[in-house]
Amino acid sequence: MAFPLPRGITPPEISFLAEMEMVTILPRQRLEGLELLGGPVEPLLPPRRASLPLWLALLLKRQRRANILPPPWLHPESLSLILDIETQHHEYEHTFSPPPPLPGQPSIRDHGQRPVAVPRYTPDGGRYYPAPPFLPQNVAQDHIPAGEPPSLPFHWLEVGTMLLDAASDDLVDPDQTRRLLKELREVRTAKIRSGVDVLDTASTGGGGVALTGVGAMEVGEGRGFIAGVIDGLRKIGASKEQARREQMAEDMANGGYGATQDDDDDMEF
Amino acid sequence: MDIDDILASVDRNDVSSPESAVLDHQLLTRFWVAERGVSELLPWPEALMNRMMGRVRKQIETIEDLAASSSDPASNNSNNNPNINLKLSILQTDLSRTQYLLRCILRQRLSKLTKHSMHYLLRVSAASSSQHPDSQINTDQQQPEDSIPDLTNVLDPSPLSAQELAFLRAHQTLLAGHFGASFLSSFPAQLRRLDDNAGGVSMVQGPDGREMVFVRCLVERVAVVVPPGDGVEVETMGTEMRMGDVWVVRWEGVRGAWERGEVEIL
């Protein structure tokens, strides 16, 4: 009654979240710096580039006060490379192409390095690890390190669509980009559908299904279905799980603590 | 206490700094997504909310001052500042976005509270007082309102805020009165309570902690836990998540990790 929306953020809310991504713009006019609730905005001095949240960049773009520099992944060349990884690479036959690394996480190139998560601290003393949409995954880069494969950021579909809508004249070959985005979307949706078989693992205690590399909008689309299937399977298997837990309790009481869980197999989408 | 905690106390910069505004905005956004994604009520982030409300209030004043100065014909400074309308629209958009987040969080919490109102009332009263007043059990004048616990000496309303607790109490009193007036008064006195647990089955329903959530692992590794229950007394470990991974898991399996900020809800 107080709130009609279902559990989990809905697609419009995901777009709202994606509008907090930082993008690079080329301002066409001056504007002094502003203190916003989302943080300060640097002064705009043409022709110096500036990083702004996407919603502000789109606001300026619609009034022809700025041009948006597209992120490096939103380029026909990068997108077709990613599409190749998604379709040709047998390693990613059932999984999504790897997402851009989080801060402290080694990229795909330096395999074997251990990730080191570096926290920031909140004023309340808690630890805070930044994650999308608050990572610079969509800002323009002048030189991409050699050998770094392009990767789709978490909000790729929303950012891509919004930029194609509002700033298609700033993109390289918008028609080709639009076509590639559509193809990527279809390939990845098919992967989500084919992964339904393993959803059973997430319905048992301590188990889960990995969706690494998934996009925010894809989570939003699949949420209703995946949640329905998993929660349904969990209710069907509730008595079986209880029996298994009781068996485990008995084993532990007998000193045979070792056979904890049997669902540790690497089940991935 | 390790070196990180010592660094943390130095790192805690003052609230008025721009870095703190950025961080609070990110924390608020993350809390909003989590509150929307999880079936149970999350602990009320008192300090964060107070800081955000203070900032919103200040920002409204700034906008009003700016709007007043732009419409003031006496000062007529439209020449030296042609961007004042643009500035105002940016500031107002930013304000509306933050207000949307705050409003959405509050409405989502109200909806969770009204859905499982007795559950949260009993949880708050159980946390603050250990003994239950069993005095009204044998009266014949049992009313549905009697099932509302006494909340006068609740010191810590966690996970609710103080205002939410007041709302919840008023809501449940009205609801119980309404139920009593419309149909419960024609029932036998012992069947009128709203928190009956005759036969060992409680009629108070709570949120289901086993519902699934989408999470992203933000630290090196986090194990999905299985909380004690069904005869097993210890917490057992399940699947292990690596940094950057996105998983579909049970909420009860990652609640602890979420509280430590090691995973985020998507």
The H or E element containing residue A121 is strand A120-121
Q: Domain ends where: B159, B192, B207? A: B207
Predicted local distance difference test score (pLDDT) of residue B8: 52
Residue B19 φ/ψ, nearest 5 degrees: -60, -40
Q: Domain ends where: B180, B207, B234? A: B207
Distance CA B23, CA B142 (A): 52
User: Is B246 touching A (CB cutoff 8 A)?
Assistant: yes
If asked whether residues B254 and B149 sit together in one domain, one would say no
If asked whether residues B191 and B242 sit together in one domain, one would say no
Distance CA B217, CA B263 (A): 5
If asked whether residues B254 and B214 sit together in one domain, one would say yes
Distance CA B158, CA B204 (A): 19
**Contact at 8 Å (CB) between B204 and B195?**
yes
Mean pLDDT of all residues in A127-144:
82
Percent pLDDT > 90 in chain A is 23
If asked whether residues B156 and B259 sit together in one domain, one would say no
pLDDT tens, A1-56? Answer: 567 888 888 999 999 999 999 999 999 998 888 888 888 888 998 889 999 999 99
Distance CA A219, CA A215 (A): 6
Predicted local distance difference test score (pLDDT) of residue B134: 47
**Contact at 8 Å (CB) between A128 and B26?**
yes
> CATH number for the domain including B225?
3.40.5.60
Q: Say if B133 falls within a structural domain.
A: no
Domain count, chain B: 2
Q: Say if B221 falls within a structural domain.
A: yes
If asked whether residues B249 and B177 sit together in one domain, one would say no
Strand pairing report for A22-27 and A66-69: antiparallel
If asked whether residues B17 and B106 sit together in one domain, one would say yes
List CB contacts (< 8 A) between A207 and chain B: 224, 238-239, 249
Joined tokens for residue B12: 């805690």
- A145 pLDDT more than 70: no
Please choose, from the candidates A155, A121, A34, the residue with its C-alpha nearest in 3D space to the C-alpha of residue B11: A121
If asked whether residues B187 and B225 sit together in one domain, one would say no
> CATH number for the domain including B49?
1.20.58.1030
- Cross-chain residue pair A263–B9, CB shorter than 8 Å: no
If asked whether residues B181 and B215 sit together in one domain, one would say no
Q: Say if B140 falls within a structural domain.
A: no
Reported pTM? 0.87
Q: Say if B34 falls within a structural domain.
A: yes
- Cross-chain residue pair B214–A134, CB shorter than 8 Å: no
With a threshold of 0.85, tell me whether the complex ipTM lies above it: yes
User: Is A141 touching B (CB cutoff 8 A)?
Assistant: no
Most confident of A87-91, B3-7, B88-92, B221-225: B88-92
A226/chain B closest Cα distance in angstroms: 9
Distance CA A175, CA A89 (A): 26
If asked whether residues B234 and B202 sit together in one domain, one would say no
Distance CA B266, CA B255 (A): 14
Q: Which of B132-141, B150-159, B215-224 has the lowest mean pLDDT?
A: B132-141
Distance CA A154, CA A105 (A): 15
**Contact at 8 Å (CB) between A90 and A42?**
no
Joined tokens for residue B265: 């809800």
Task: Give the CA angle between residues A177, A61, A42 to the nearest 5°.
Answer: 115
Which residue, among A13, A30, A121, A223, would best test binding to B if mutated, counting the most B CBs under 10 Å from its CB? Answer: A121
Amino acid identity for residue A98 in this structure: P
Q: Say if B105 falls within a structural domain.
A: yes
Mean pLDDT of all residues in B86-93:
91
SS3 content of chain B, % helix, strand, coil (to 5): 55, 10, 35
Partner residue opposite B114 with nearest CB, options A1, A65, A114: A1
Domain that holds residue B241: 209-265
Q: Domain ends where: B161, B182, B207? A: B207
DSSP at B76: -
- A269 pLDDT more than 90: no
- Cross-chain residue pair B214–A223, CB shorter than 8 Å: yes
The H or E element containing residue B249 is strand B246-250
For A254: left if phi > 0, alpha if psi spans -120 to 50, otherwise beta; the answer is alpha
Most confident of A186-200, A250-264, B53-67, B195-209: B53-67
Among chain B residues, CA nearest to A106: B243
- Cross-chain residue pair B229–A245, CB shorter than 8 Å: yes
If asked whether residues B114 and B11 sit together in one domain, one would say yes
B264/chain A closest Cα distance in angstroms: 8
Q: Say if B160 falls within a structural domain.
A: yes
**Contact at 8 Å (CB) between A209 and A195?**
yes
Question: How confident is residue A95, by pLDDT bands cut at 50, 70 and 90?
Answer: confident
Q: Say if B135 falls within a structural domain.
A: no
- Cross-chain residue pair A20–B29, CB shorter than 8 Å: yes
Which residue, among B6, B239, B241, B263, would best test binding to A if mutated, counting the most A CBs under 10 Å from its CB? Answer: B239
Beta bridge partners of B236: B226
For A125: left if phi > 0, alpha if psi spans -120 to 50, otherwise beta; the answer is left
- Cross-chain residue pair B47–A104, CB shorter than 8 Å: no
If asked whether residues B162 and B247 sit together in one domain, one would say no
If asked whether residues B196 and B258 sit together in one domain, one would say no
DSSP at B232: B
- Cross-chain residue pair B94–A65, CB shorter than 8 Å: no
What residue ranges define each of the domains in chain A, with the CATH number in brackets? Answer: 11-103+126-229 (1.20.58.1020)
Mean pLDDT of all residues in A245-269:
61
Q: Say if B171 falls within a structural domain.
A: yes
**Contact at 8 Å (CB) between B172 and B148?**
yes
User: Is A212 touching B (CB cutoff 8 A)?
Assistant: yes
Residue B56 φ/ψ, nearest 5 degrees: -60, -45
Average pLDDT, chain B: 81
Amino acid identity for residue A174 in this structure: P
A3/chain B closest Cα distance in angstroms: 6
